[in-house]
Amino acid sequence: MNTQPRILPDDEHNRTLIQNTHPPDWVNPEPRGRYNLVVIGSGTAGLTAAGGCAAVGGRVALIERHLTGGDCLISGCVPSKGIIRSARVAATLRQAADYGMRVPEGTAVDFPAVMERMRRLRARISPADSVPHLKEMGVDVFLGEGRFTGPDAVEVDGLPAPPVGGAQAGKRLRFVRAVIASGARPIVPPIPGLKETGFLTNETLFELTALPKRFAIFGGGPIGCEMSQTFQRLGSQVTLVDLAPHVLIREDADAAKIVQRKLVQEGVRLLLNAKAIRAERREGAKVVVIEQEGRTQEVVCDAILVGVGRVPNVEGLNLEAGGVAYDKTGVKVNDFLRTTNPRIYAAGDICAPFKFTHTANALGRMAIINALFWGRNRMSRLIVPWCTYTDPEIAHVGLYEPQAKARGIAVTTLTIPLAENDRAILDGEDEGFVRVHLKQGTDQILGATVVAAHAGDLLTYFTLLMSMGKGLSSLSKPVYPYPTQSEVLKRLANAHLQAKLSPTLKRVLGRLLAWRR
């Protein structure tokens, strides 16, 4: 039997959020015969698949056991970027003297107000993912636990008793096609004493109403780095613990070094090449024992955040009855997103190696095209960018240079520092660079990395060119407004074009110009 979800704190914003995403008085509809599509999970992939099917007149049912909108709305992109913005304001105020501004003494972060703002904006965004909106689109929404009962059928558990009337009976939904989009959840490392000591994940972090004075964060990936910088800026003393020799180990070392240096400059304590081996409560505090290069030390803190990865939600779906193969990495799919049951597809974090909201959106669209309209879209052909929202941001698309070389592809790499861009200098945002990897001797973009205040926005130029099959020289053609950081892209393209000029061509052009004098 499904229970009514709760989100803390119980304020007007969270009550609005719940009313939109899991209405307490919701009554599941009666199934309308065989559905063209049944979707399990209403995160980004599930919403995209269900909404797409309804938009073309299909009969579609969507099953959600918790809150529509999924991780992105409730505990991922939306709330995290909300508090990141507040933290950036706090950092700007501290740096005001660098810009010739005087901030009154005593200016401080109001952490409860920061979190209230996040909850208010999250509730404001939630109608787009809401149950009423889905109903208006023509989607039959079933709130409850969904489980396969056969290769073409799903059963939804009954809801608890509404305010008036008895408990609702379970429903059996039959389908022509189905999409599994049940997402993923945080990995909890097997650290002795961690559960008893108490910890946060991204699913509970945004319930905080009081700022932890001392904050231990496990994981130097995107979540760990973003939240370390954010909470340090908001007033915590953060200790970041990671097994790797530097943060953001997936990125180019010099790119990660820029972010790591910024974290240290702002006061984050880094414990790298380190791991937590034990946690306990002691005298009203949490104590984590860290092992680092053969030595142990204790980190005393008021809160612990675990951000070391995600694991797919495959439990409780009875995938065996649906004939769907899976393992610890998630539901097994082919390049067309089809599972081992040809009637059933999967999309999003449950099956994708790249667990991003934008990837889930793209795969949700791909799933309905392939499942319902005999499409042949391949997951392997997606050009997937990503961005870590630290300050500065790191954004990347395509191959890194070592990856290209490992595939036997000769590479030409071009890098332009932001210190050579007028707008970046004027804004005080000149620590970073734009880098592109080209197939040697060609204009073909293999990959790109941007480290900048708004790296994710600048990266889109490269993603667009790669998706269209265009080369780097295309960036030399437009007229860019001055001064903008986007001008660095034109400089990169021009540097490539100049490098292509052979000595012979230079001599010919020089003689031509001399003749015209």
Q: What one-character-per-residue DSSP string does 335-395 give?
A: TTSB-SSTTEEE-GGGT-SS--HHHHHHHHHHHHHHHHS-----GGG---EEEE-SSSEEE
Residue 215 lies in a domain: yes
Kindly state whether residue 511 falls inside one of the protein's structural domains: no
CA angle 164, 168, 170 (to 5 degrees): 175
Question: Is 144 exposed, middle or buried (CB count within 10 Å of its CB: 0-12, 13-18, 19+)?
Answer: buried
In a domain, 104, yes or no: yes
CB atoms within 10 A of CB 457: 15
pLDDT for residue 343? 98
Of 328, 349, 381, the residue that ends a domain is: 381
Instruction: Look at residue 167 in the predicted model and tell me its pLDDT.
Output: 61
Residue 217: which CATH number?
3.50.50.60
Burial class (CB in 10 A: 0-12, 13-18, 19+), 81: middle
- The pLDDT assigned to 505 comes to 61
> What is the pLDDT at residue 168?
67
Two tokens at 289?
């024992």
- Residues 409, 468, single domain; the answer is yes
| Structure-block tokens of residue 307 | 């951000």
Q: Is the peptide bond before 392 cis (omega within 30 degrees of 0)?
A: yes
Per-residue pLDDT, 512: 73
How many C-beta neighbours within 10 Å does residue 132 have?
Answer: 15
From CA 44, how far away is CA 361, in angstroms rounded? 6
pTM above 0.85, yes or no: yes
DSSP code, position 205 = H
Domain count, the chain: 4
**By C-alpha distance, which of 384, 386, 514, 517 is closest to 450?**
386
SS3 assignment, position 376: coil
Domain at 427, CATH number: 3.30.390.30
Q: Where are the alpha helices (DSSP H) in 3-43?
A: 12-21
Together in a domain, 249 and 369: no
The residue among 27, 344, 4, 54 whose CA lies nearest residue 171 is 27
Full DSSP string of 460-507: HHHHHHHHHT--GGGGGSSPPPSS-TTHHHHHHHHHHHHHH--HHHHH
Torsion of CA 470, 475, 477, 480, to 10 degrees: 150
DSSP string, 256-287: HHHHHHHHHHTTPEEE-SEEEEEEEEETTEEE
Residue 419 and residue 364 share a domain: no
* Phi and psi, residue 208, nearest 5°: -60, 140
Kindly state whether residue 315 falls inside one of the protein's structural domains. yes
Of the candidates 308, 329, 358, which is a domain's last residue? 308
How many angstroms separate the first and last alpha carbons of the chain? 88
Pick from 500, 436, 427: nearest CA to 466: 436
User: In terms of Cα–Cα distance, which of 174, 223, 175 is closest to 202?
Assistant: 223
| Token couple for 504 | 């012979």
pLDDT the model gives residue 163: 57
Cβ contact 178:350 at 8 Å = no
Q: Which residue, 356, 331, 358, 359, is CA-closest to 345?
A: 331
How far apart CA 393 and CA 360 sit, in angstroms, is 21
If asked whether residues 116 and 136 sit together in one domain, one would say: no
Do residue 169 and residue 225 come from a single domain? no
- Is position 510 within any domain? no
Residue 99 is given by DSSP the state: G
Task: Determine the Cα–Cα distance for residues 490 and 357; give it in Å rounded to an integer.
Answer: 30
Which pLDDT does position 158 carry in this prediction?
72
Supply the pLDDT for residue 507.
67
Residues 310 and 186 sit within 8 Å (Cβ to Cβ)? yes
Note down the domain range covering 221. Answer: 194-308
Question: Averaged in consecutive runs of 10 residues, what is the pLDDT profile of the chain (517 residues)?
Answer: 82 98 96 97 98 97 97 97 98 95 90 98 98 98 97 88 63 97 96 98 98 98 98 98 97 98 98 97 96 96 97 97 97 98 98 95 98 96 97 98 97 97 97 98 97 97 97 96 97 90 64 72
Same domain, 152 and 278: no
